A and B are shown apart, each in its own frame.
Chain A
């Protein structure tokens, strides 16, 4: 009897270790999301549907059409998001990656705000509302006031933070004082903000004169975030602010007493209270800071990228920020990577639209990725990774 040593049995094989770690799950989540999306591209493609009608007569037509549809779509996605190798100049080619970073900037800042809530055990679904009030306040300071250059910009950013913080703080206050569920209050505050913005854009203070669409005047040059790489690229100082915000999240959550309290409440509110941490105050402060960060995201978006306020200013950033924070596991580095990835999908989606694939496919890919990553057992089962981690039937096990 050649019984394996205890050590031998407990050390997993290399395959099992790979199967158990998180990286393959993330990779497979993307693979599945892109595979499912490929099926959607096929269903929607006219050529493919045409050739499917005579599939058995000439199957090669069907497979060629399918291959062409998928390759052209994903090729466009890559060119639009990272590097357009078909562009005439290298500036144009690299412009796509820079554009991706520009789009990622407000998204990442908002996602950092979301992460504060998630780490403290609060589900802040109010990204949209906090973004809207943040951008509205920043834009108003930007076009409504006349201040000296640097001060104007700082004032506009501060207004965005304050407004976002206020909006998050309302939910935090209702939670702390009346124990109102933050998921519900933040969703309600989103819609209140949407309507508030719609109303603001009808008022004389916000509505730009002589335009048909609801739009505010342009932010004054003194309040705009300066461009970093010259005028041909849209990347602006907001990118640096984003990096600083990520640094702030790291410091807050990993180095400060306040962050420790937040995490303690997030892990176990009862234990935290017994240890002398006020749960109510903590939830209020969490929502205040989370809202402030998201509001900063809105301010950066309006002062750096959009330059004026319109009724679709928040776009889908509010909800995308939630998925980015989840995908980035609420850590600063993870969020930056996830944010750039999601922004790349959106900028690439614009190119994909040129190939006849609606940009909404991007939302499908993003949602699928997050769903799969949230359920690792599902991904393992679908991809057969669980077979790697299944304990080997050794001779000893057979005997026993």
Chain B
């Protein structure tokens, strides 16, 4: 990427000067993260708390009938809307205050404390929102969480594709195209063989085509990587839509049958209230997702391979000097990433019992891109961000059902239009790249072709 950022830091020559600037304290933009937290905490207090529906309760279903509920865990909990939201908002304000204190006094945050604070803040904000919006009605949280994870799978796989290529210095805007190819491949191969399993295995192979094209043009021919990505997305939409219109639609029973990977339910664990169905009653792709996130994290940050990949993404020249083959590393990472994104594409068709349709990825590749950035180019961060985005989508779908259920007589309340919930991931990502959700550091050589 053409970085137009010009370092504004003064050039220091001696140790004393460095110490002086350190002692002086706060980094520029130190106020941004606490300011954003305060803003959201105030929104929570004013809208969800004070602006809530007075005198009403919010009902949440948190468990289904199982051995756990027979042991005394309730299936439903009920909280008074306004007081609960106000208490939660107070906690949010306290967290924001803590962030102000840490940043203003220029203290060093303990390791993981900052992301933990942000994730905790996000969860509490979401709970406050739920309490507000469900007032006088009821919502099944177990379903919501299960749907969230299902929706997160393509985003996580897509974001991992981004992490793998961008850590090696190749900008990957083509995630959308990779997802689309994966979905297409899974549907077609699955239909032809009659097995969703074979379809799932074929998806990464088909998505490799997209990865190979990206690597060919970006690494092989040094074409501007953003352009390659944008154009490849157009190509992917065009190709899959073309074959859909010409072959899949006229002969749907042969090439495009809705298939579903079976749900693998782990006994006992799947009955755990609240999180059981989400974690232990899903299809193979969901379980695979956890494994791949873990493997990617360890591989990138704890192995020699990962060190090499990251060095290629940060300083290819240095990497080359010590004998790492920059082009090969980039090629293999882009290919690996596209294969993983292909699995994410498979989720869209064989993972959810849906036949392929035009542009079935519907912008998920771009949300995955956003998740990768919000997750700071880290597999775990990307997965967390993807879960957050998926939660917003799941919520939007569930609130659609909610708003059609009748309110008790005499109760009026405002509901957030679903379009604004859809917008949320993008707005949060805007804030993130502007530095309001912590600093996003891009791999130094991201987007820069390496010419020997």
Residues of A within 8 A of B (CB): 40, 43-46, 121-123, 125, 174-175, 177-181, 183-185, 187-192, 194-196, 198-199, 202, 265-266, 269-270, 273, 279, 283, 316, 319-320, 322-323, 326, 356-364, 366-368, 370-371, 374-375, 377-378
A-contact 0/1 string along B209-251, CB 8 Å cutoff: 0000100110011011011101111110111011111110010
Say if the beta carbon of B417 comes within 8 Å of chain A.
yes
How far, in Å, is A368 (CB) from chain B's closest CB?
A: 7
Smallest CB-CB A-B distances: 6 pairs: A363-B238, A358-B245, A44-B246, A367-B235, A199-B419, A360-B241
A122 / chain B contacts, CB cutoff of 8 Å: 2, 4
CB pair A191–B426 under 8 Å, yes or no, is yes
Contact A188 B242 (CB under 8 A): no
The chain B residues found within 8 Å of chain A, CB to CB, are: 1-6, 29, 32, 171, 173, 213, 216-217, 220-221, 223-224, 226-228, 230-235, 237-239, 241-247, 250, 358, 363, 366-367, 369-370, 373, 417, 419-420, 422-423, 426-427, 429-430, 433-435, 442
Partner of B442, one of A125, A181, A198: A181
30 A-B pairs, CB-CB below 8 angstroms? Answer: A40-B239, A43-B243, A43-B247, A44-B247, A45-B246, A122-B2, A174-B430, A174-B434, A178-B435, A180-B434, A184-B373, A185-B430, A187-B370, A191-B366, A191-B423, A192-B430, A195-B426, A198-B419, A265-B4, A269-B3, A269-B6, A320-B234, A323-B230, A323-B234, A358-B246, A359-B245, A360-B244, A366-B238, A374-B228, A375-B217
Determine whether the beta carbon of A273 is less than 8 Å from that of B433: no
For B250, list chain A residues within 8 Å (CB): 46
If the complex has contacts A319-B234, A363-B241, are A195 and B4 also in contact, measured as CB distance less than 8 A? no
B363: chain A residues within 8 A (beta carbon): 191, 194
A371 near B241: Cβ-Cβ < 8 Å: no
A interface, over-half SS = helix
Write out the residue numbers on chain A whose beta carbons fall within 8 Å of the beta carbon of B430: 174, 180, 185, 188-189, 192
* Contact with A125, one of B226, B244, B426 (Cβ below 8 angstroms): B226
CB distance from A313 to the nearest CB of B (A): 16
Residue of B nearest to A120 (CB): B4
Answer whether A196 and B423 are a contact pair too, CB < 8 Å, given A174-B430, A279-B4. yes
CB-defined contacts of A198 to chain B, threshold 8 Å: 419, 422
Which of B226, B230, B244 has most A Cβ within 10 Å? Answer: B230
Chain B residues contacting A375 (CB-CB under 8 Å) are 217, 221, 223
Measured CB to CB, the closest approach of chain B to A372, in angstroms, equals 10
Give the most central of B233, B366, B442: most A CB within 10 Å: B366
Measured between alpha carbons, how far is A121 from B369 in the docked complex, in Å? Answer: 22
Which residues does chain A contribute within 8 Å of B228, judged by CB atoms? 371, 374
For B429, the chain A residues whose CB sits under 8 A away are 184, 188
* Closest residue of B by beta carbon distance from A274: B6
Partner pick for B426 among A43, A188, A361, A363, CB 8 A cutoff: A188
How far is it, in angstroms, between the C-alpha of A175 and the C-alpha of B6 when the chains are bound?
Answer: 12
Complex formed: what's the CA distance from A362 to B232 in Å?
A: 14
Whether the pair B247, A279 counts as a contact (CB closer than 8 A) is: no
Contact partners of A45 in chain B: CB under 8 A: 246
Rounded to whole angstroms, the CA-CA distance of A360 and B246 in the bound complex is 10
- Chain A residues near B227: list those with CB within 8 A: 322, 326, 370, 374
Task: Decide: B235 and A371 in contact? CB cutoff 8 A.
Answer: yes
Is there contact, CB below 8 Å, between A367 and B224?
A: no
Of A184, A199, A366, the residue contacting B234 (CB under 8 A) is A366
- Is A195 within 8 A of B422, CB to CB? yes
Question: How far is A177 from B431 in the complex, measured between Cα atoms in Å?
Answer: 13
Q: Which residue of A lies closest to B359 (CB)?
A: A360
Q: Is the CB of A195 within 8 A of B235?
A: no
Distance A320 CA – B232 CA, assembled complex (angstroms): 12
Query: A361–B435 contact, CB under 8 A?
Result: no
Contact of A361 among B2, B217, B238, B366 (CB under 8 A): B238
